Structure formats: structure tokens, C-alpha cells
Amino acid sequence: MIFSSLRHLFLLEQVSASRLSYLTHMASTQFIGGRRRASEYGLQLKRTFSVIHGSLDWLTPEAREYVVEKARLCQPENIHVCDGSEAENAALVDQMVRAGTLKKITSDKFENCYLALTDKRDIARVERKTYICMEKEKDACPTVRFGSKAFLGNWMSVESMDFQMNRLRFPNSMAGRTMYVIPFSMGPVGSPLAKYGFELTDSPYVVSSMRIMTRMGKSVLDYLQQSGEKQFIRCLHSVGRSLGMLSSWPCDPENTLIAHFPHRNEVCSYGSGYGGNSLLGKKCFALRLASSLAQREMWLAEHMLILGITNPEGKKKYIAAAFPSACGKTNLAMLKPTLPGWKVECVGDDIAWMRFDSEGNLRGINPESGFFGVVPGTSMKTNPYAMKAIHKNTIFTNVAMTKDGDAYWEGMEDEDLDLDEVEVTSWDHRRWTRESEFTAAHKNSRFCSPAHQLEIIDPAWEDPKGVPIEAILFGGRRERVVPLVYESNDWTHGVFTGASMRSLTTAASLEGTVRRVNHDPFAMRPFLGYNCGQYFQHWLDMGKVANAKLPKIFYVNWFRKEERSKLPGGQDPKFLWPGFGENSRVLEWIFRRTDNEDVAISSPIGLVPKYGALNIEGLTPAVDMENLFAIRKDDWVREVQGIREFFEDQLPEDLPGPLWTELKKLEDRVASMP
Ligand code: OXD
Ligand code: MN
């Protein structure tokens, strides 16, 4: 730590020295592409910034001021204002292929697809280096029990973070590179639910990925100019000063730092080029900053998919669902129902922004326009629609490649690729065979694919009003204790089930290497933009919005396994539920419950399907319904103890009163079980 700070201080000296020489260039300060002198904008720049693409005239004065301020800090070689066009992207892709950042996937099974291989130290979101910066620690994090380690929120003071970013990390961080100015919209441009941002980055990979994941370019600039919309989120990103690093994937892992300033509508991310750390529209803006905006403006920004489901009679409903990272949100959002006559269409697979409209309907949009999904495990069996969609116009990151120019990842073994014949090179450049003890694709490898090319994209996915949400699902990966599905008794109980969500860890976070059951309230633990206790209170408050038609709240668990103790020694427990397309059977029951059909009975933990109400007709092999739905007293005594321990440890002062009451009610119901 001390060592790395010294290194930065040393660099700072260098920056200051070079700044002096920039002063001597003042006379020549001009924007070449924009054909305007900086001084015409009233700004004193200390060196030449050539605008090599687009024009600063395209920006509103506020946005222009932001760009120039950060250019002065980061000292890029030149500035490129993105227009979002096909031609611009083609040129960037070309440049990245020449630099070795992207490789074209040449097999004729893939059309216009590329592979990026990252530095081995830059492979996932880095939660420990991700901070929420507000005035007081309490604004961002609940107070924990004395002596406990906080894990709901990571706070740093605004002053300390400003020092870290503006003095130690960003100065001169873009030297020798282009600063790309990415104007983007989260949500359909002009939608009352949309929000706008500018990401300034020195990574062309980020530009191409943001072009897929957001509406980006000239259409956004034109909208901002014409509408007079002044609010935009400021997103600054640099891969950092990568001294002596792999030139195809510059990064600065030792000094990576990602900061959110909710009250300044600002994100700064230094040192990583990977996904959630660098595509700042996604987790940083659409979840962390947006959750804080949503609290202030009375709406919801959630880690949820949205799907539309139509029954055989043609009646359609929309459902939102929150699961922790890499628990199958994308697969559920693109589900191919096995139940005859049912249809699922996808609005979004990761983030939902929702607000009650004047009629009291909860309206939701997917603020993104692409899918940034975990690749391993994606196959024709698990997600045939995604499989088709990711075969064109897709950027893969950290999958393996065959000698014939095919992409390869774990889980696609059944596809027509003869692994004994073809040579496979793993994501980290090693010869891989079926016998290898390492994986071919990194377990957090990703596809980045445009949403519109999904065959089952919902016709209303870009409806500016959003779609009406009638049910909300929470869930996680639990091998024991939790039944396939139950419904909460009311909104407050539903908020309690969200607050007490637990799941087995997965690979989406760097830290997720140990398999254990973690608390992940609302699947938002890594994405909360403010104090988790206040976030729970906000959910309770949303339940009191005048004339709100509150969606029903359900809890699902596709991952329950056989009881190990009941199996002959040494046998591995198997999943009790087939999952994937068969999950449509659970959605059917939920659909019927949103119509208030009498298909549920009460249990100590909530409402469960009445005997025979869950359609299991034709399921082979037959499902062990008794164990799938078993609610065992000893399990639930421990479960409730775990929830109490979590609340008392992490939110002893901040948990809202009604959730303590729900906990007590659940404890009492469980205690009175026979
Ligand atoms: C994601 C995540 O990338 O949740 O969606 O980590
Ligand atoms: Mn996610």
C-alpha cells in the first residue's frame, strides 16, 4: 500500500513537471476537429487537445465544461466525441484488432463477433475497491454491531476520494491515448423513465461495448440539445497508467478504485477495463447512482430482469425478478416454456427501473439495450435464444478460442465441436484439453450482445411508458431449506423476504471463490448506492404510494437438492427440480395467483401451491414434490436464527421497525410448527 502510494506520488511529480511545459504551449491551444480555440469556450487549457472525431459543439455547455475539465486532468493525446455510427464503430474495431485487443472470431458460425482477452488480474468486478462517497459514513452504510465487519456498503469520505482520484490517480492517466466522449441514455431516448450520462474513457473496448449496452451517440446529443435536459450523470473512466503492462489490455490493478458520488451524480473509475468496473452505465449508474436517485424521486432501480408471459388464452403479464449475480437471471428472462401454449418474451435480463404511474400501475423499463451475460453454461439446452443471439455482433471477453477460429466455453460440449479434433487455447493463452485441470473459458467470461437481435425480445421492450409489472420474484441459489416457490403474505412480508435473501456465492465477483451461503438483500448487496436500512425503508414506503396497485411478491428457488443424509453413503445429491424451461410451470402458478385464483394455501413461511395446483403433468422423471416443498421445523429454526443474526450484526440500528416485526412473526410461526 505504502509502496503503491509512493509510486503515485512520484508520478504526480512527473505530472507537475510536464504541466509546466504545457503552460508554454498555451498559445497553440485549440481544438482541431472542432475548429475552435479553447479560449472561445472561456476555458484555459494548458496544452493542445485535438478533437479527432465529432465536435465539442455537439455538447451542451454543461457537458462541454465537464469534458474540458476532465481532459485537463487526464491529459489525453486527443478527444473523440462519439456519434454512435456504424462507421465509427467499424474503425474502432479495426484499430483494436490491429492493437491485439480484439481478435475476430472467424468461424462461419459467428457473424461479426470478436474476442477480447484481458490481463489476468482484471477479470471481474472488484467490490473491495468500489466505494460510495457521501458526506457521512452513515449515509452509505448501516452501523454494524461493535466489533463486526461491515459488508453492506463501502464508504469513503468525499474529500479523501477526491484526493485519491484527482491527485493520485487521474492526473495524466490518459497520456498518449484518446479520450472518448460517450453520450448515452439509460432507457429509450426521451422516455419519462430514461436518464442520460456522459462517459469519458480512454478505452475503445468500452466505447464499442457501451454502444451495445446503451443507446449511445448523436441521437442522445441531439435530444439533450433540443429538450434542454440539463441533468446528466458524469462518468469518468481510465484504464490507468499501465507502466510496462500488456499493451493489448492496459490496466492498473493494484490501484484500481471505483467511486460513486450520489449527490454529485458522478462516477469515477480508475484502473480496470473490465465489465462492471468500466461500462459505467450498468452497475455504477443504473444501479448504484440510480438507487439513490430513485430514493429521492420515489421510484425503484433494481437488480432485476423483466419478462412478459402470455398464457394459451393470449393474456399477458409482466414479471420482474431479482437474483444475485450469475444465478440464472438471463436464462429466466429468455425462458423457453415447456408448457404448451405459453410464451415468454424478454424486456431485460439484469436491471429494472420502475415507477408507479398515475393509474397506480408499476411501470418498468430495462434501462440497458444489450446483454452482458455470463458465458459458461450458456448452451442450446440452457438458453437457446441467447445462443442464437450471441452468434452475431457480439463482443466476447475471456472465452477460449479454437485453432479454427471458433469460440469455445464450458457448457457448450454438446454443440457440434469435436474436442478431440480441434486445438483449444484457453482464455489465458494455455493449450486446453478435456483433461486440463483449468477451465478453457474464465468462469466469469461474458458476452456483450445487442438486445434487439434476441428473437424473443418483447415488442414493448422500448415502450417509453414501460411495461406494467404484476409480480416481483426474489430468489437465490439454495441447495437446502427453501422450497421451490412461495408467496409472501403482503407487501411488508415481501419486503422482508427481499431483505432476508441468501444465496450460494458465484463467480461474478472477484471475491466469490468460496462456496458458502451469503446474505444478499434484494440481490443488491454489491449495488446499493446508499444505506441499506434506508433502502429497505424506501421499499416499505413504495408500498404506501397513493392508489398503488401493489404487485404480489414471490420467492423462488430452482436449486434445491436431495437431502444428503437420506442418500446411500458417498452419493452426490441431485437437483430436485429440472429448472430451465420447466420453470414455466412455476410462472404459471404465479400468473394464476396474480389473478387471485384460489390455488394457494398458507404455511409458516408464506403461501404455497395447494396440493395439485402446480402443474407437473408430463414431467419425467417424476418430481419428488414432498422434498421439493418440504418446510422442516429444524431447518427453519436455523434459517430464522441466521436472518436474526444477520440483521443484529449488520443493521442493528438501521433495520426499519416493520421488518423486526416481520422477523418476530416468522419466528413465532416457525416456533409453533409441530
Ligand atoms: C452482472 C453482475 O454482471 O451482476 O450482471 O455481476
Ligand atoms: Mn447483474
Atom 1 in ligand 1: residue holding the nearest Cα: 325
Q: How far apart are CA 167 and CA 16, in angstroms?
A: 11
Q: What is the dihedral of CA 464, 470, 476, 479, to 10 degrees?
A: -150
Tens digits of residue pLDDT in 80-119: 999 999 999 999 999 999 999 999 999 999 999 999 999 9
Nearest protein Cα to ligand 1, atom 4: 325
The closest-lying atom of ligand 1 relative to the alpha carbon of residue 276 is 3
For residue 621, whether the previous peptide bond is cis, meaning omega lies within 30 degrees of 0, is yes
Ranges assigned E (strand) in 326-410: 343-348, 352-356, 362-365, 370-374, 395-397, 400-402, 407-408
Please say if the pLDDT value at position 332 is more than 50: yes
Confidence of residue 244 (pLDDT cuts 50, 70, 90): low
- Band of the pLDDT at 242, cuts 50, 70, 90? confident
pLDDT of residue 418: 79
Q: What pLDDT sits at residue 570?
A: 76
Average the pLDDT over 293-317 and give the result.
Answer: 98
- Class of domain 301-369+456-671 (CATH, top level): alpha beta
State the pLDDT at residue 566.
80
Mean pLDDT of 174-193: 96
Number of residues in the chain: 674
Query: What is the tens place of the pLDDT at every residue in 110-143?
Result: 999 999 999 999 999 999 999 999 999 999 999 9
AA letter at 171: P
- Distance in Å, CA 373 to ligand 1 centroid: 8
Ligand minimally distant from the alpha carbon of residue 303: 2
Which residues are designated catalytic? 327
How big is the chain by its Cα radius of gyration, in Å? 25
Selection from 11, 385, 355 nearest residue 191 by Cα: 355
**CA of residue 525 to ligand 1 center, whole Å:** 12
The pLDDT value given to residue 514: 62
* Interval 365-412: pLDDT, tens: 999 999 999 999 999 989 999 999 999 999 999 999 999 899 999 998
Confidence of residue 45 (pLDDT cuts 50, 70, 90): very low
Predicted local distance difference test score (pLDDT) of residue 421: 82
Q: pLDDT at residue 439 above 50? A: yes
Q: Kindly report the average pLDDT of the chain as a whole number.
A: 91
Pocket of ligand 1 (CB under 6 A): 125, 275-276, 325, 350, 372, 508
> What distance in angstroms lies between residue 127's CA and the mean position of ligand 2's atoms?
13
Q: Is the pLDDT of residue 36 over 50?
A: no
Distance CA 14, CA 183 (A): 32
Residue 638: partners with Cβ closer than 8 Å, 6 or more residues away? 481
Query: Which residue has the CA at smallest separation from atom 2 of ligand 1?
Result: 325
The whole-number average pLDDT for the span 225-231 is: 92
Shortest-distance atom of ligand 1 to CA 303: 4
CA of 368 to the centre of ligand 2 (A): 12
The model's confidence at residue 655, banded by pLDDT at 50, 70 and 90, is: very high
- Residue 415: the pLDDT is 66
Distance from chain centroid for Cα 330: 11
CATH superfamily of 371-453: Phosphoenolpyruvate Carboxykinase, domain 2 (2.170.8.10)
Please tell me the predicted confidence (pLDDT) of residue 9.
29
Tell me what pLDDT residue 16 has.
Answer: 36
Least confident of 65-69, 246-250, 275-279, 341-345: 246-250
Could you tell which of 212, 368, 374 is best to mutate to test the pocket of ligand 1, judged by most ligand atoms within 8 Å of the CB?
374
8 Å CB contact between 269 and 133: no
CATH architecture of 4-297: 3-Layer(aba) Sandwich (3.40)
Please report the pLDDT score of residue 506 as a whole number.
62
Say whether 371-453 and 301-369+456-671 share the same fold.
no
Atom number in ligand 1 closest to CA 509: 6
Q: pLDDT at residue 511 above 80?
A: no
Lowest mean per-residue pLDDT among 45-49, 498-502, 650-654: 45-49
Q: What is the CA(184)–ligand 2 centre distance, in A?
A: 20
Report, as an integer, the average pLDDT of 636-663.
98
Give the start-to-end residue ranges of the domains of the chain. Answer: 4-297, 301-369+456-671, 371-453
Which numbered atom of ligand 1 lies nearest the CA of 446? Answer: 3
| Mean pLDDT of the 486-495 span | 98
